[in-house]
Structure 1
Amino acid sequence: MTIPRFLPRWLLALLLGCAATLAAADYPDKPVKLIVSLPPGSGADTTARFLARHLSEKFGQPFLVDNRPGADSFIAARAVAASPPDGYTLFVASNSPMVTNVAVFRQLPYDAVKDFQPLARIARFPMVLVVPANSPFKTLQDLVAAARQAPGKLNFGSGTATYRVALELLHERNQIKATAVPYRGTSAAMTDLAGGNIDYTMAEVSAVMPLVRGGRVRALAVAAGERIKELPEVPTVSESGTAGYESYAWTGVFFPANVPPPVLARMSQAIKELMEGDDAKAFIAAQGGTVFYGAPQPFAEFQRAEIERARRVVRSANIGYED
């Protein structure tokens, strides 16, 4: 579009707005990349592939999943933040890079708020408190009583910073102390738990179910508002004496900051329609979660509130910032 020089500002703004709207009408007209900070098979990865398949069908363009795991999600988040804000790069992320990292790390190579445009909150997955199969603890109340009797004696594993914060919040609510054992990933923490090397841990439902079904770990409580179909006999944390406690892993989609509003609106509407459909509800339910859709502005507000909550827990538990 050629724009003559010396146009009045109001007319120039109008013309540029029209140009952006016309460009958005053809968007996307080339492949779109969905960057994921976790490896294939993870919750964020399977969600990204579900989105990619359905958005490809809707728009007639390839939506390609690009896994960039490692470095506490720094690699993927930094790649998205540095991408052109043209709508052709999406970040399918969990709360770890977009919330917990902000609270836990002293310095980040990206700004989780300023460098991104929230596009759509997608789903959430309840966390489950688990112990080794041969643990003496049969209920959450048993574990809490033991921790109160010998502060710091019990140890707990945390596969990610998000799970560490969730557990520290549980400790705070019950006024107990335990010794943290950090792991480089949820799989490592679950393996050590099954081997009896730690006393308990917490992870989202899809990560714990294979070991629960295999009889290698026991679920004590579900950190959801109500019992879940995967573990109908397991009480919620609230039912187990910690009223109102809930912790979830969630996934959402982000653009780099400063994406043109018409592009944001077009993709936002497409994802909204998808997440309100039966296919999305069935897919998320099969992963042990529920659709938790949120439009751009409510999602941005939710992210900020989650960051403040995580910061408060980090300060209260004196977790300490990592470099």
Structure 2
Amino acid sequence: MKRRQLAIGLGGLVAGLGTRPAFAQTAAPYPAKPITLVASFSGMTDQMGRVLGEAISAKTGTPVVVDTKAGASGIIAAEYVLKSPPDGYVLLHTTNTTHAANQSLFKTLPYDYIKDFIPVTGVLRGSLMMVASSASPAKTISDLTEMARKQPGKLSFGWGASAVRAAVELYRQTASLDFVSVPYKTNAQAVVDLIGGRLDFMALDALTAAPHIASGRMRALAVTGEKRMPGYPAVPTMQESGIPGYSMTFWQGIYAPKGTPDAVIKRAAALLVDAINSPQARKFMATVSVDPFPISGDELMKFQQAEAVKWRAIVAAAGIQPE
């Protein structure tokens, strides 16, 4: 009797063990719950994230939430994602500021841009515009350059993101000029002062500048990239405006916190690339005059490291002391 009971008990145990591995190995397909894209900046980063989220939701039926944590040059958003569970459901949607520029602009950071994040995919790449208030006497970059040479150390520019600052710093270096740098928490705050006449000029992305240009309160002087923007074909490049060798672009990418499983990274990348290539995303990018940039995670890692080297050179030449 005891042997029979023991046999039944062992049989039940074996049967139970036989079913558990199959259950444990059956993971829920990604995404099985809402995904959060943490945007490091408002404006184009935030809006691009919403476009991508809509495309992913339409394909998977899974909600995608955009949580914008702007401020501190993207550090707030980066630190938040780093402290999130590494399961692919909280991703960082950021720019070259956190993953190329901050490394030279700050003495210490609460994250390591190489060790603490896994690149998932690039998103977009574009140029900025040098802009001035419509009340400014500068109607072209040539005008602004001449004004700066006549008034060294007098003209001011504002910035709320590293790309914006570096675009002007490179202009300063290339043309051997001297400007007053005025930092802001966000670019939007700097725009208010630019329109109000408290700043002389700044660099700005097309999305943020567009409504002010359309309303006549702001004037586009030049484009920072090597080609003109499709949406502003009459605005010349900095090189065409007499600043030879000048070129500055910005970019966005998606990152996951370290420890996120490879299978999840691969699936998230596939969904994001499909979203970047979707009609709604392509339409949005055309509207704001940027190019799709869906490079792989490995390519993004190499690209960001090369960008960090470029930024280090700009910062060093500008004599900017890390904060």
Q: How far did residue 55 of structure 1 move?
A: 1.4
- 8 Å contact kept, 1:157–1:200: yes
Q: Is the 8 A contact 1:272 1:295 kept in 2?
A: no
Contact 2:39/2:77, CA 8 A, preserved across alignment:
yes
User: 2:177 corresponds to which residue?
Assistant: 176
Shift of 1:257: 1.6
Counterparts of 2:305 and 2:176, CA distance in 1: 26
1:108-257 alignment, distance < 5 Å = 108-257=109-258
CA distance in structure 2 between the aligned counterparts of 1:137 and 1:88, rounded to whole angstroms: 47
Trace 1:90-105 onto structure 2 (pairs within 5 A): 90-105=91-106
Partner amino acid for 2:57?
Answer: S
Structure 1 residue corresponding to 2:36, chosen from 22, 33, 38: 33
Corresponding pairs, count: 301
Q: Select between 273-282 and 185-194 the one with higher mean Cα deviation.
A: 273-282
Q: List alignment gaps of at least 5 residues for structure 1.
A: 1-18
Contact map agreement 1:95 1:162 (CA 8 A) in 2? yes
CA contact (8 A) 1:125 1:205 kept: no
Displacement of 1:211 in angstroms is: 1.5
User: Which residue number in structure 2 is paired with residue 321 of structure 1?
Assistant: 322
- Cα distance between partner residues in 2 of 1:310 and 1:175: 18
Which residue number corresponds to residue 65 of structure 1?
A: 66
Instruction: Determine the C-alpha separation between the residues in 2 that align with 1:33 and 1:156.
Output: 34
Q: How far did 1:219 drift? A: 1.2
Query: Following the alignment from structure 1 to structure 2, what is the Cα–Cα distance between the partners of residues 49 and 232?
Result: 27
CA distance in 1, matches of 2:228, 2:71: 33
Distance between the aligned counterparts of 1:159 and 1:69, measured in 2? Answer: 10
Q: For residues 179 and 68 of structure 1, what CA distance do their matches in structure 2 show?
A: 28
Structure-1 residue corresponding to 2:76: 75
Moved more, 53-62 or 185-194: 53-62
Taking structure 1 as reference, are residues 280 and 145 closer, same or farther at Cα in structure 2, changes over 3 Å only?
A: same
Please report how far the alpha carbon of residue 270 of structure 1 lies from its aligned counterpart in structure 2 after TM superposition. Answer: 2.2
* Separation in structure 2 between the aligned mates of residue 298 and residue 37 of structure 1, nearest angstrom: 21
Shift of 1:121: 0.7
Aligned to 1:301: 302
Amino acid at match of 2:152: P
CA distance in 2, matches of 1:68, 1:157: 21
Give the SS at the match of 1:293: coil
Q: 1:312 is aligned with what amino acid?
A: A
Q: CA deviation at 1:228?
A: 1.8
The match for 1:269 is 270
User: SS at 1:107's partner residue?
Assistant: coil
User: Would the aligned equivalents of 1:36 and 1:93 in 2 still touch at CA under 8 Å?
Assistant: yes
> How far did residue 122 of structure 1 move?
0.6
Identity in percent: 36
The CA deviation at 1:88 is 1.6
3-state SS of the aligned residue for 1:113?
coil
Which amino acid in the other structure matches residue 157 of structure 1?
Answer: G
Query: Aligned-pair distance for 1:84?
Result: 2.2
1:316 CA drift (Å): 0.9
**Which letter maps to 1:121?**
G
Per the alignment, in what secondary structure is the counterpart of residue 34 of structure 1?
A: strand
Residues of 2 paired with 1:69 and 1:138: CA distance? 32
Whether the aligned pair in 2 keeps the contact of 1:204 and 1:249 (CA below 8 Å) is no
Contact 1:120/1:252 (<8 A) preserved: yes
Residue type at the aligned position of 2:61: G
Question: What is the Cα-based RMSD across aligned positions, in Å?
Answer: 2.1
- The CA deviation at 1:147 is 2.2
Q: Could you tell me which amino acid in structure 2 is paired with residue 138 of structure 1?
A: K
Q: TM-score, normalised on structure 2? A: 0.86
Task: Give 2:9's aligned residue.
Answer: none
Q: Aligned letter for 1:75?
A: I
Q: Distance in 2 between matches of 1:124 and 1:148?
A: 32
Return the offset for 1:60. Answer: 3.0
- The residue type paired with residue 68 of structure 1 is K
Alpha-carbon distance between aligned partners in 1 of 2:65 and 2:160, rounded to the nearest angstrom: 28
* Larger deviation, residues 61-70 vs 209-218: 61-70
